[in-house]
């Protein structure tokens, strides 16, 4: 049963008709007292659609108070807030107090029903409470798991991304139950983790196991799009819309119609572009540059970042309302150095699938080899480990190369090496790669297995 709480009778009637046409049982309440009577007495309550103001006041305090009361009596019931676009800051305050989602008035019926269906499908127990201070998403991954590579894709060897890297292995296999639950919904998902941990692979898996698998998966590296070209790249333009716009151009949202759009490196987006993206994600509509016709964006949104978005929000470089819009479900991928027990599993898998030279004896890692690989910082994570192993298979031995930061031989045991912090090792590795490639940062990023945007941040961090 869905409870509609709004002092405007026309809105209550309109929502009731919409929900009942879609097969839902509905009850109405015109204010906080009537709403709490239903909350306390009706055990079949599954969802609340709640306005934020119930009198002449417009500060939303009545709605926030009612939200807190509902969550005390029924913490398991998701609440979707209804507010005007100009009051999104108020909706964000509601999200901090445990609201599941928010929609703006006037709403689009299709968008509203998608939000309702997602809330009912994912609650409970998947969505964690959002009360209190803003905090990074809780990882939905256990620390340890079985000692096997999980086959979760039609292709053998696990989940594969564009670079062929394996992701779900050993301690990360429990993440599959979460992915299998959220993939069929329209819930926006935020994937966090360092470069090379498999964020793109997870996005691919979500798309392939969604109801939109037959549609396109459009991948967008937001770190590679300048602010001046953002609207043209994302929404398209008509010929003559601006200087040099000689032909019509399809935007990424149009390309992703009926499918999924993967917005990688969303932490690289500047504030002005964040506002433009928020409007699309909130209303599911956009306009092509040079065309005043409003178009609907029928897309599933998956985002990824290696940045600390809560810290960026505190520094006022990332919008909190956008954070909540993209982060209904969060998946955090830990760095490979935090799960060293997975390294032997990955190494054996990469060996089995790596090309080898016919004249070179196939490399078989010794215990010392594995110990040394587990001692490396692996700042490029799985992508870097894969490159190391494939080179060892081609050469017939594990040797020092551009991605390795410790010499072979007696240095196999970390205890005999000169102690260095991970920060120092990372700085030296990047500096060496820049020198060898004559400052060509594209080649440096490719060798280290990270994006150009991530490389720029690391250069700035280390003062290179």
Close Cβ partners of 138 (under 8 Å, ≥ 6 residues apart): 128, 330, 332
Judge whether 392 and 386 are in contact, CB under 8 Å: no
For CA atoms 6, 12, 14, 16, the dihedral sign is positive
pLDDT for position 429: 81
Indicate the number of domains in the chain: 4
Question: Would residue 39 be called left, alpha or beta, if left means φ above 0 and alpha means ψ between -120 and 50 degrees?
Answer: alpha
353 φ, ψ to 5°? -110, 5
The phi and psi torsions of 359 (rounded to 5 degrees) equal: -90, 0
Domain match, 105 and 22 both: yes
Are 449 and 196 in contact by the 8 Å Cβ rule? The answer is yes
Domain span at residue 431?
418-464
- Asked if residues 278 and 321 have their Cβ atoms less than 8 Å apart, the reply is yes
Residue 223 inside a domain? The answer is yes
First-to-final CA distance of the chain: 59
Same domain, 183 and 238: yes
Specify the CATH number for the domain of residue 443. 1.10.10.60
Residue 142 CA to its chain's centroid (Å): 18
Alpha helices in 4-159 (DSSP H): 9-21, 32-41, 61-73, 88-96, 109-122
The span from the CA of 230 to the CA of 267, in Å, is 14
Q: Pick from 122, 139, 156: which residue ends a domain?
A: 122
Residue that terminates a domain, selected from 310, 334, 358: 334
Count how many Cα atoms sit within 13 Å of the Cα of residue 347 in the half-sphere of its side chain: 22
What are the percentages of helix, strand and coil residues in the chain, rounded to 5? Answer: 45, 15, 40
Write phi, then psi, for 422 (nearest 5 degrees). -60, -35
Residue-level pLDDT at 162: 42
Question: Among 292, 314, 334, where does a domain finish?
Answer: 334
Answer yes or no: is 155 within a domain: no
CA 293 to chain centre: 30
Task: Compute φ and ψ for 249, nearest 5 degrees.
Answer: -135, 130
Give the pLDDT confidence score for residue 258 in this predicted structure: 94
Per-residue pLDDT reduced to its tens digit, 184-208: 988 899 999 988 888 988 999 899 9
Neighbours of 343 (CB within 10 A): 23
- Residue 115 structure tokens: 């939000």
CATH of the domain at 361: 1.10.8
pLDDT tens by residue, the chain, 464 residues: 999 999 999 999 999 999 999 999 999 999 999 999 999 998 899 999 999 888 776 778 888 999 999 998 998 899 999 887 667 788 888 888 889 988 888 888 988 998 999 999 887 655 544 444 444 433 333 222 333 334 333 322 344 444 444 444 556 666 777 888 889 988 899 999 988 888 988 999 899 999 999 999 999 999 888 888 899 999 999 888 777 778 888 999 999 999 999 999 999 999 999 999 998 998 888 999 888 888 999 999 999 999 999 999 999 999 999 999 998 888 988 888 888 888 888 888 888 877 776 777 778 888 888 988 988 888 888 888 888 888 888 877 776 544 444 444 434 333 333 445 556 777 888 888 888 888 888 888 877 777 777 788 888 888 88
Tokens 């601006």, residue located: 242
188 plus 323 within the same structural domain: yes
Residue 180 pLDDT: 83
Say if residue 387 is in the same domain as residue 441.
no
- Separation CA 350–CA 157 (nearest Å): 9
Determine, yes or no, domain membership for 34.
yes
Structure tokens at 232: 């043209």
Question: Does residue 146 lie in a domain region?
Answer: no
Contact present, 403 and 447 (Cβ < 8 Å): yes
- Output the pLDDT for position 169: 52
Question: 321 and 184 in one domain?
Answer: yes
Is 32 inside a domain boundary? yes
The reply to whether 286 and 269 lie within a common domain is yes
Q: Are residues 210 and 279 in the same domain?
A: yes
DSSP characters for 237-269?
A: E-TTSSTT--S-EE-HHHHTTTSEEEEETGGG-
Q: Are residues 282 and 354 in the same domain?
A: no
**329 & 208 share domain:** yes
Tell me, yes or no, whether 66 lies in a domain. Answer: yes
The DSSP line for 404-426 is --S-SGGGGSGGGSPP--HHHHH
Strand partners, 27: 3
d(CA 4, CA 27): 6
The answer to whether the CB of 122 falls within 8 A of the CB of 91 is no
CATH of the domain at 32: 3.40.50.2300
Count of CB atoms within 10 A of residue 196's CB?
A: 28
Q: What is the pLDDT of residue 433?
A: 83
Instruction: Note the pLDDT of residue 131.
Output: 42
Residue 127 in any domain: the answer is no
Q: Are residues 182 and 329 in the same domain?
A: yes
Same domain, 317 and 184: yes
Question: Beta strand pairing status for 249-250 and 236-237?
Answer: antiparallel
Q: Among candidates 222, 143, 263, which has minimal Cα distance to 452?
A: 222
- Is residue 150 assigned to a domain? no
If asked whether residues 273 and 174 sit together in one domain, one would say yes
Quickly list H helices, 304-404: 309-314, 320-326, 343-353, 367-375, 381-395
Q: What is the DSSP letter of 294?
A: E
Q: How many Cβ atoms sit within 10 Å of the Cβ of residue 73?
A: 11
């Amino acid at each position: 049963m869905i409870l509609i709480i709004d002092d405007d009778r026309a809105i209550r009637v309109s929502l009731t008709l919409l929900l009942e046409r879609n097969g839902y049982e509905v009850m109405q309440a015109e204010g906080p007292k009537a709403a709490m009577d239903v909350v306390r007495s009706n055990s079949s309550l599954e969802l609340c659609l709640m306005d934020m103001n119930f009198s002449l006041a417009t500060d939303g305090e009545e709605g926030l108070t009612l939200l807190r009361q509902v969550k005390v009596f029924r913490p398991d019931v998701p609440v979707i807030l209804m507010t005007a676009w100009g009051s999104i800051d108020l909706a964000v305050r509601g999200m901090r107090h445990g609201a599941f989602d928010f929609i703006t008035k006037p709403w689009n019926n299709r968008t509203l029903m998608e939000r309702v269906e997602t809330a009912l499908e994912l609650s409970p127990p998947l969505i964690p409470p959002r009360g209190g201070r803003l905090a990074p998403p809780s990882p939905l991954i256990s620390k340890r798991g079985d000692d096997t590579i999980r086959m979760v894709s039609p292709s053998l060897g696990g989940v594969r991304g564009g670079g062929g890297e394996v992701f779900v292995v050993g301690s990360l296999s429990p993440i599959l139950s979460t992915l299998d639950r959220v993939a069929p919904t329209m819930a926006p998902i935020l994937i966090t983790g360092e470069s090379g941990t498999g964020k793109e692979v997870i996005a691919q898996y979500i798309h392939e196991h969604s109801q939109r698998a037959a549609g396109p998966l459009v991948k967008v590296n937001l770190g590679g799009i300048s602010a001046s070209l953002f609207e043209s790249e994302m929404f398209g333009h008509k010929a003559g819309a601006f200087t040099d716009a000689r032909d019509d151009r399809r935007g990424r949202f149009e390309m992703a119609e009926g499918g999924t759009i993967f917005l990688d490196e969303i932490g690289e987006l500047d504030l002005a572009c964040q506002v433009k993206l928020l409007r699309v994600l909130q209303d599911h509509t956009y306009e092509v540059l040079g065309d005043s016709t409003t178009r609907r964006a029928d897309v599933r949104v998956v985002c990824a970042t290696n940045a600390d978005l809560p810290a960026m929000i505190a520094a006022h470089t990332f919008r909190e309302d956008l954070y909540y819009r993209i982060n209904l479900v969060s998946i955090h991928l830990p760095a490979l150095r935090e799960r060293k027990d997975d390294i032997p599993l990955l190494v054996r898998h990469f060996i089995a699938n790596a090309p080898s030279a016919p004249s070179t004896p196939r490399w078989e890692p010794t215990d010392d080899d594995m110990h040394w690989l587990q001692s490396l910082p692996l700042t490029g994570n799985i992508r870097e480990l894969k490159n190391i192993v494939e080179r060892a298979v081609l050469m017939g031995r594990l040797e020092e190369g551009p991605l390795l930061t410790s010499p072979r031989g007696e240095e196999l045991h970390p205890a005999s090496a000169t102690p260095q912090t991970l920060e120092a090792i990372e700085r030296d590795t990047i500096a060496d790669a820049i020198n060898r490639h004559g400052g060509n940062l594209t080649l440096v990023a490719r060798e280290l297995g990270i994006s150009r945007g991530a490389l720029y941040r690391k250069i700035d961090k280390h003062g290179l």
